Every structure is written in C-alpha cells, then in structure tokens.
C-alpha cells in the first residue's frame, strides 16, 4: 500500500482489572488500516477482537482501560483527545456497527429519530433536512417504503432490516472508517449474504475503510482485503487475505481454516485444535499458542515470537515460520462416489416416523380466546412427514422462524402435536399415557442449543447428569450413580474432578459436553440435537461434531440434527430435510440434495453460504424480500414470494411433494410435470443455473485440494 494509513495502531494494551487479576484483553497489538480497504480481525471468542475495536474509540467499559500504546486516526492522536473531541469523531469520522441490532437500537424511539439524532449531532441540519436525509439513507440501504419505515420502532422491523438501519446510521455522517463488530453473526445465512453485499457495495461506493471483526472465515474470505488473526490478545498473523489463505504461516490460522466443515467434505472427523483459549490473566509464557500448537518446540515456551515478515505485507508471530510448510490441508476426496457409499440412508428400518404432524401456536392473548378458538395461529409445523432410520442422521435446515426447533421439540414430545401421528419404533407417542411416555422419554433425548441456559446453574454436574439416571431407575444407590456419571463424563471427554463443579465454571464447549453426557445418561436410541454447535467457536464446534459422530458409532444412535448452517449439517448427516415456513420443501440424501435439480429454496441457501475461498465473488441467488409473517403465510407455494423462479401458478397452487429420485422429495411446481407440461424450457434453464452453482461450489473444493499438502495436524 502506498498511501498513508488511515488508522495506525501501535502496541495497544487494554486491560481489565478484576478481583482475580488483570485481564490482558489486548496485549500489544499493532496494525494499520488504509483508506478504502476492508481489514478483517478474526479469531475465537475471548481473543480480544471486540475490545480492540472498542479501544479505538475509547469505548471500553470500566473496569477496562487502555494502559499503553498509540492510536493515530487520520494523523490525530486518539488517546490524547478530550471527551468533546472524541464525541465529534465518534459517528462522524468513525462509526460502529454492533452485532445485535435489537439491543443497539433504542426500543423507545423510531428509527428515524435515532438516525436523525446522529445527523443533527454532527451537522447543523434542520429537522426536515435530517428526516429527508434519513429517508434517503434508508432507501440506500435497501429498506422498502423508506418514507413509511422511518416512523417505525425497532421491534417492528425484522432482524435483517434492523441491521440495515444500523448500517444507515453508520454511514449517515459519511465516516472514513466503520468498525463492524460481528455485524452478521446473529443473522440467517440468506440475510447475512444480503447484509454483507450491501456493506461491500457501500464501502466501495463511498470509499469507506472497514475494520470487520468476525469469527467466520467465510465472511473474511468474501469481504476483506487484508486480515489480522488474533489469539489471546495478540495478532499472530497479518497480511492480505489471499496470502493468508494460500500461504498460511501460523499454526493457529491453519487450525481455524481446517476446522470449518466444507460442502462435499467426506464424513470424517474434522481436524481440531487441542485444548482451549487460555484465560487472559495468566497467558502461557513464550508463544501463547504453544500449549495448543501441534508444532511446538521447547524454545516456544520461553521465547515470545515477534510479529515478523514472511512476505512483503505478510507477517506472522511464529518462530518456526520459516521452516514450517503450513498450507491448510483440505480433503482431497472431492469425488462424490466415495462419499455416497457411506451416505445412503438406511430407510429399511425406520425408528421414528412422523405422519402429518402439525403444531400451531396461538397468537391470541388470553386463555379465554384460546378456549373459544379465536385469534390467529402461527403454523410453526404444518403437515410434516418424516422418517428416520436406525443409526441414521437426518439433518434439518432452514432459516430461523421456519419451525425446525418446534418440529424437533414436537418429535421429542416436549410439545403436544395438534394433529398427526408420531411413531417411535412402531408405537404411537401421541396416544400414550403419561406412564408409557415416561418410559419412552428415555429413548428419545434432546441436546439443546444454548449450553449456557440448558444446564441448571444451581446444580452440580453430578446432580445434572445423575438426575435422569435416578428418574428412570437405572441406578440403585448413590455409589452406583456416581460411578455411572463418572463413566459418562469420561465418555464425553471430561474428568471426574468436574463432578462437584457448577456449570458456570465451564467453557461453552465443555458445557455442551455436559449436555451430551446428560442426554446419553439414559441410553437413548434417538437424539434430537437442536443447533448443538451454533453457539460455539469453530475449533470447539469441530470437536463437538467429532464427539457426536464418535458416540453415534459407539451407541448406534439415530440423530435428528437441527441447524441453520448447511455446511455443518451436510458434514454430519446422511439425509437432509430443508424446511421453510413450517413445511418440508425438500428431503433427500446429501448427494441428492446437492446435485441439481433441487428446490429453489435449497438453491438460495446453498448460494448464500459465505465460502472460505478468497477472491471469489459469490454467485449468490438473491431471495426476494424478507421472511414472511408466519401467522399469514403466502398462498399457494409458501416460498413464491421470495422465489427467484416464481411463476403465476405458484401463487395459486400449493405444490405437492414429488419424488425426483428414490427417496428424494421436492415440493415445487417446477418439477410437477402436470403444471410444467407446456413450459419445458423454463425447467431446463433452472436446472442449468443450479448445475452452474454446483460446479462453482465444487470448484472451491478442487481448488483447495490443489493447494493442499504439508504436514497433517493430529487431532486431539
């Protein structure tokens, strides 16, 4: 880069003084952001990414404070600015976009007022001018009916819309730098793709520099020009994205890149990084990554490696950088033949069958309305048929609000279905009495999404894992219970010293292991895993996925694996069901699902995944509009309002489920010969397009395999 950096950070230290000691959240970080570029900061949670971002604007909350370092923005020393001067920089020159737009926007003011306030704070615009500009901005960020929406409150907008409002607010005063802190983490893939392309577009159009903080390597690859990888408060590798992805030089970066499941990877254990991020009070001496590094040598324990150059702009903090050949190693089996052998569904012996299951939630306020059947219904699950074989994994994907969790809970009989039958090993769960259900409960277990809320904070691990054993009478006395709990903890990779501890003493990944141990306690045959890894970091996610696959093999379990991330789902599943607005629109084996023709919604989902290959503009297929109101689903095919291939018939005729192949069912009029008789050309167009997408996705894999090589990392 020839020009002067816009933001220059040198040797930044931010500390939090707590009772337990000083947390070195940012520990000597130096980087530059040049005008008009996107600089990514990536790393696992707790690496100090967000604190770095907040430090620039001196927004770190007490007890944190910046203890050392220099921050120059546009030639000005940010650390010497007075409060008033800082205020004029915030929002005007540097704007921030937060992760959670719902809590970042004030619920008691309209979005117009909030954006208008920012404008009026930094300019002397009148109320009318501010309103006019706000409307223009909302229009620019793609909010339909901006004139009307400007008077809406944040809760009246969808998640994607709110994030657009945040972006509008950020660009309202034409800043030179935007700090985007996980701007799309809370959003669905389809919305994430939209927001990212909007951000990219605006950034190019207005020549704004962006410091993008994220944990998602796919987002990094698509968005960033340069990248900094953070670990334990330090930058361990910086450089152009292309270089870092192709010539990875730090073992941590390599670990992060390898831990992501990829479309088309074989159903093997994922490589993981052993151990977990140290707490930042006492970081290991020498290289802080050495306890987790597969290449560590005695000198790594004593010498702290400086961030040194390996290329012109590429720097890494590893003393073995020169000798190690660290290209991320991706699987070379990109051919589907080998994979398809393991991935045939075992349809012969269905363990759980759902027939016409419906679950409606009333939106009425009182029980009187409910009793009288008044009020509207949200059709969370609407006429779903499923069957899951013994030892099989069925993946269930869809955007949030599509009813996938509700379906999972209904199958676990945590919700009473409103209609339909659920057969477990041939017995109808819906017709059982309480006693029979209790016995059945030990066969179907659930692993929950949020490891923080699914373990009772007032109970010790022994109580949590031991309780199901007591209820189902699987142990006779305390001693036996204790022994069994120990066994279970051992099974999921925890040790017996954890028995008397409380959940808050564990990390997210460990908590999820406890959740798994509890589910295993009653020796179930069938486990419903409701987004078990979506709250976890990639390296932990890989470990949990490995664990789930290991115990499946050992106990011959069947899974219903619910997730919003197609990458994760396809990695672990034999078959996949795609859900949209309470209905299953496509179901088939992984290969059937990923080989065209497929449902247009699957196409949209597939194309929305940010692919961890830098320099590729995505061939994204834009769904039109937002997720519809589930209380008032569109007529005909429910997806027609967003479908890129919608036809007039779609508004009228709800599609039937058609078998395209053995066991591959798609609900779409495009594949209904009766409807499509006179429109032959259309379908082939669609299939052609899907084929191209498929080839694109596959090309990623081939490319990665080509660049593969180097030593293999042992998984822990």
Q: Of 90, 78, 66, nearest to 178 (Cα)? A: 90
Q: Is 20 in the site for another protein (CB under 8 A)?
A: yes
Angle between helices 508-521 and 461-471 (to 10 degrees): 20
Take residue 232 and report the two structure tokens written for it. 């334990």
Q: To the nearest whole angstrom, how small is the minimum distance from the Cβ of residue 390 to another protein?
A: 20
Among 256, 412, 536, 547, binds another protein (CB under 8 A): 412
Q: Is 361 in the site for another protein (CB under 8 A)?
A: no
Q: Is 459 in the site for another protein (CB under 8 A)?
A: yes
Q: Of 608, 516, 558, 653, nearest to 218 (Cα)? A: 608
Per CB under 8 A, which region of 292-300, 500-508, 662-670, 675-683 contacts another protein? Answer: 500-508
Q: How many other C-beta atoms are found inside a 10 Å radius of the C-beta of residue 309?
A: 12
Q: To the nearest whole angstrom, how small is the minimum distance from the Cβ of residue 535 to another protein?
A: 11
- Beta carbon nearer to another protein, 378 or 521: 521
- Beta carbon nearer to another protein, 19 or 673: 19
Q: How far apart are the first and last CA of the chain?
A: 40
Q: Is 164 in the site for another protein (CB under 8 A)?
A: no
Q: Is 445 in the site for another protein (CB under 8 A)?
A: yes
DSSP for 643-706, please give it. -TT--HHHHHPPPPEEEEETTEEEE-GGG-HHHHTT-HHHHHHHHHHHHHHHHHHHHHHHHHHH
DSSP for 421-435, please give it. EEEETTEEGGG--HH
How many residues bind another protein, per CB under 8 A? 39
Half-sphere exposure at residue 554, Cβ-oriented, CA atoms within 13 angstroms: 12
Among 438, 652, 691, 692, binds another protein (CB under 8 A): 438
Q: To the nearest whole angstrom, how small is the minimum distance from the Cβ of residue 150 to another protein?
A: 33
Site for another protein in 382-411 (CB under 8 A): 409
Q: Is 366 in the site for another protein (CB under 8 A)?
A: yes
Q: Is 433 in the site for another protein (CB under 8 A)?
A: no
User: In this structure, are residues 289 and 283 in contact, taking their beta carbons and an 8 Å threshold?
Assistant: no
* CA 667/CA 600 separation, integer angstroms: 10
Q: To the nearest whole angstrom, how small is the minimum distance from the Cβ of residue 184 to another protein?
A: 25
| E strand or H helix at 89 | helix 83-89
- Beta carbon nearer to another protein, 187 or 412: 412
Q: To the nearest whole angstrom, how small is the minimum distance from the Cβ of residue 514 to another protein?
A: 11
Residue whose token pair is 């605006």: 202
Q: Is 450 in the site for another protein (CB under 8 A)?
A: yes
Take residue 316 and report the two structure tokens written for it. 């890494």
Q: Of 565, 514, 714, 513, nearest to 215 (Cα)? A: 565
Q: To the nearest whole angstrom, how small is the minimum distance from the Cβ of residue 533 to another protein?
A: 15
Q: Is 367 in the site for another protein (CB under 8 A)?
A: yes
Among 441, 599, 620, 640, binds another protein (CB under 8 A): 441
Q: To the nearest whole angstrom, how small is the minimum distance from the Cβ of residue 19 to another protein?
A: 5
User: In this structure, are residues 343 and 382 in contact, taking their beta carbons and an 8 Å threshold?
Assistant: no
Q: 3-state SS of 355-410?
A: EEEEEEEECCCCHHHHHCCCCCEEEEEEEEEEEEECCCEEEEECCCCCCHHHHHHH
Q: Of 683, 595, 261, 418, nearest to 586 (Cα)? A: 595
Per CB under 8 A, which region of 65-73, 141-149, 171-179, 518-526 contacts another protein? Answer: 518-526
- Beta carbon nearer to another protein, 316 or 449: 449
Q: Is 448 in the site for another protein (CB under 8 A)?
A: yes
- Beta carbon nearer to another protein, 305 or 515: 515
Per CB under 8 A, which region of 46-54, 174-182, 433-441, 656-664 contacts another protein? Answer: 433-441
Query: What is the CA angle 313-316-318, rounded to 5?
Result: 155
Q: Is 455 in the site for another protein (CB under 8 A)?
A: yes
Take residue 248 and report the two structure tokens written for it. 């990875």
Site for another protein in 469-488 (CB under 8 A): 471-472
Q: Which residues fall within 8 angstroms of residue 699, CB to CB, at 6 or more apart?
A: none
| Long-range contacts, 637-640 (Cβ 8 Å, 24+) | 637/667, 637/668, 637/669, 638/580, 638/581, 638/582, 638/583, 639/580, 639/581, 639/585, 639/599, 639/600, 639/601
Q: Which residues fall within 8 angstroms of residue 666, CB to CB, at 6 or more apart?
A: 585, 586, 588, 597, 598, 599, 657, 658, 660
Q: To the nearest whole angstrom, how small is the minimum distance from the Cβ of residue 425 to another protein?
A: 17
Q: Is 513 in the site for another protein (CB under 8 A)?
A: no
Pairing mode, if any, of strands 226-231 and 664-667?
Answer: unpaired
Q: Is 442 in the site for another protein (CB under 8 A)?
A: yes
Q: Is 373 in the site for another protein (CB under 8 A)?
A: no
Q: Is 456 in the site for another protein (CB under 8 A)?
A: yes
Per CB under 8 A, which region of 286-294, 417-425, 454-462, 649-657 contacts another protein? Answer: 454-462
* CA 92/CA 63 separation, integer angstroms: 27
Take residue 464 and report the two structure tokens written for it. 């949590």
Among 460, 507, 657, 707, binds another protein (CB under 8 A): 460
Per CB under 8 A, which region of 51-59, 122-130, 440-448, 483-491 contacts another protein? Answer: 440-448
- Beta carbon nearer to another protein, 175 or 401: 401
Q: Is 558 in the site for another protein (CB under 8 A)?
A: no
* CA 405/CA 398 separation, integer angstroms: 10
Q: Is 505 in the site for another protein (CB under 8 A)?
A: yes
Per CB under 8 A, which region of 174-182, 202-210, 517-525, 585-593 contacts another protein? Answer: 517-525
- Beta carbon nearer to another protein, 471 or 659: 471
Per CB under 8 A, which region of 283-291, 465-473, 478-486, 646-654 contacts another protein? Answer: 465-473
* CA 252/CA 230 separation, integer angstroms: 9
Per CB under 8 A, which region of 253-261, 293-301, 449-457, 673-681 contacts another protein? Answer: 449-457
Per CB under 8 A, which region of 234-242, 284-292, 467-475, 490-498 contacts another protein? Answer: 467-475
For residue 303, give the DSSP letter. P
Q: Of 513, 553, 519, nearest to 533 (Cα)? A: 513
* Residues forming the site for another protein (CB under 8 A): 19-20, 366-367, 370-371, 409, 412, 414, 437-438, 441-442, 444-446, 448-450, 453-460, 467-468, 471-472, 500, 502, 504-505, 515, 518, 521-522
């Amino acid at each position: 880069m020839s020009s002067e950096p816009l933001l220059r950070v040198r040797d930044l230290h931010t500390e939090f003084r707590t009772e337990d000691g000083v947390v070195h959240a940012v520990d000597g970080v130096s980087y530059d952001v040049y005008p008009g570029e996107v600089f990514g900061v990536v790393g696992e949670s707790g690496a100090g990414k967000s604190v770095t971002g907040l430090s620039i604007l001196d927004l770190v909350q007490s007890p944190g404070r910046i203890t050392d370092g220099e921050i120059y923005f546009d030639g000005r020393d940010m650390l010497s600015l007075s409060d008033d001067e800082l205020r004029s920089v915030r929002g005007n020159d540097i704007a921030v976009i937060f992760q959670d737009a719902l809590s970042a926007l004030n619920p008691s003011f309209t979005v117009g007022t909030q954006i208008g306030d920012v404008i009026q704070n930094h300019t002397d615009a009148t109320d009318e001018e501010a309103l006019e500009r706000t409307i223009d901005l909302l229009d620019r960020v793609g909010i339909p009916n901006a004139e009307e929406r400007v008077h809406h409150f944040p809760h009246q907008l969808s998640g994607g819309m709110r994030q657009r409002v945040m972006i509008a607010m950020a660009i309202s005063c034409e800043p030179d730098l935007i700090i985007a802190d996980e701007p799309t983490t809370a959003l669905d893939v389809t919305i994430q793709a939209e927001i990212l392309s909007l951000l990219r577009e605006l950034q190019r159009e207005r020549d704004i520099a962006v410091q993008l903080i994220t944990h998602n390597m796919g987002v990094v690859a698509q968005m960033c020009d340069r990248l900094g990888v953070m670990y334990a408060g330090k930058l361990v590798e910086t450089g152009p994205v292309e270089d870092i992805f192709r010539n990875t030089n730090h073992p941590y970066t390599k670990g992060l890149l390898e831990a992501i499941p990829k479309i088309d990877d074989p159903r093997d254990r994922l490589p993981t990084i052993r151990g977990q991020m140290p707490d930042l009070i006492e970081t290991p001496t020498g290289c802080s990554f050495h306890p987790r590094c597969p290449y560590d040598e005695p000198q790594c324990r004593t010498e702290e490696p400086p961030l040194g150059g390996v290329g012109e702009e590429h720097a890494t903090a590893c003393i073995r950088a020169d000798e190690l050949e660290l290209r991320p190693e991706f699987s070379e089996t990109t051919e589907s033949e080998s994979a398809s052998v393991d991935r045939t569904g075992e349809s012969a012996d269905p363990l759980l069958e759902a027939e016409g299951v419906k679950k409606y939630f009333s939106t009425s306020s009182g029980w009187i309305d409910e009793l009288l059947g008044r009020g509207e219904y949200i059709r969370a699950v609407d006429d779903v048929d499923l069957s899951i074989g013994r030892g099989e994994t069925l993946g269930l994907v869809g955007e949030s609000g599509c009813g996938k969790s509700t379906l999972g809970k209904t199958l676990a009989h945590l919700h009473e279905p409103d209609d339909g039958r659920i057969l477990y090993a041939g017995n109808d769960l819906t017709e059982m009495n309480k006693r029979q259900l209790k016995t059945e409960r030990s066969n179907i277990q659930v692993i929950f999404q949020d490891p923080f809320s699914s373990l009772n904070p007032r109970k010790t691990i022994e109580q949590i894992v031991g309780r199901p054993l007591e209820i189902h009478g699987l142990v006779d006395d305390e001693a036996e219970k204790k022994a069994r709990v120990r066994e279970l903890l051992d099974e999921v990779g925890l040790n017996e010293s954890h028995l008397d501890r409380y959940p808050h003493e564990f990390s997210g990944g460990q908590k999820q292991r406890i959740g798994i141990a509890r589910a295993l306690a009653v020796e179930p045959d069938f486990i419903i895993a409701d987004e078990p890894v979506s709250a976890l970091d990639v390296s932990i996610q890989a470990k949990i996925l490995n664990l789930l696959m290991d115990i499946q093999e050992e106990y011959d379990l069947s899974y219903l694996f619910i997730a919003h991330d197609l990458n994760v789902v396809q990695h672990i599943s034999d078959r996949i069901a795609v859900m949209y607005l309470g209905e299953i629109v496509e179901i088939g084996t992984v290969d059937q699902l990923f080989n065209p023709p497929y449902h247009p919604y699957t196409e949209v989902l597939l194309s929305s995944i940010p692919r961890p290959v830098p320099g590729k503009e995505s061939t994204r297929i834009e769904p039109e509009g937002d997720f519809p109101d589930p209380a008032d689903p569109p007529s005909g095919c429910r997806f027609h309002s967003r479908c890129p291939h919608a036809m007039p018939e779609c508004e009228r005729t709800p599609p039937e489920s058609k078998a395209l192949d053995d066991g591959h069912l798609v609900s779409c009029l495009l594949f209904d010969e009766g409807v499509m008789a006179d429109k032959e050309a259309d379908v082939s167009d669609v299939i052609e397009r899907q084929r191209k997408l498929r080839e694109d996705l596959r090309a990623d894999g081939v490319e990665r395999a080509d660049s593969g090589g180097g030593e293999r990392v042992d998984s822990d």
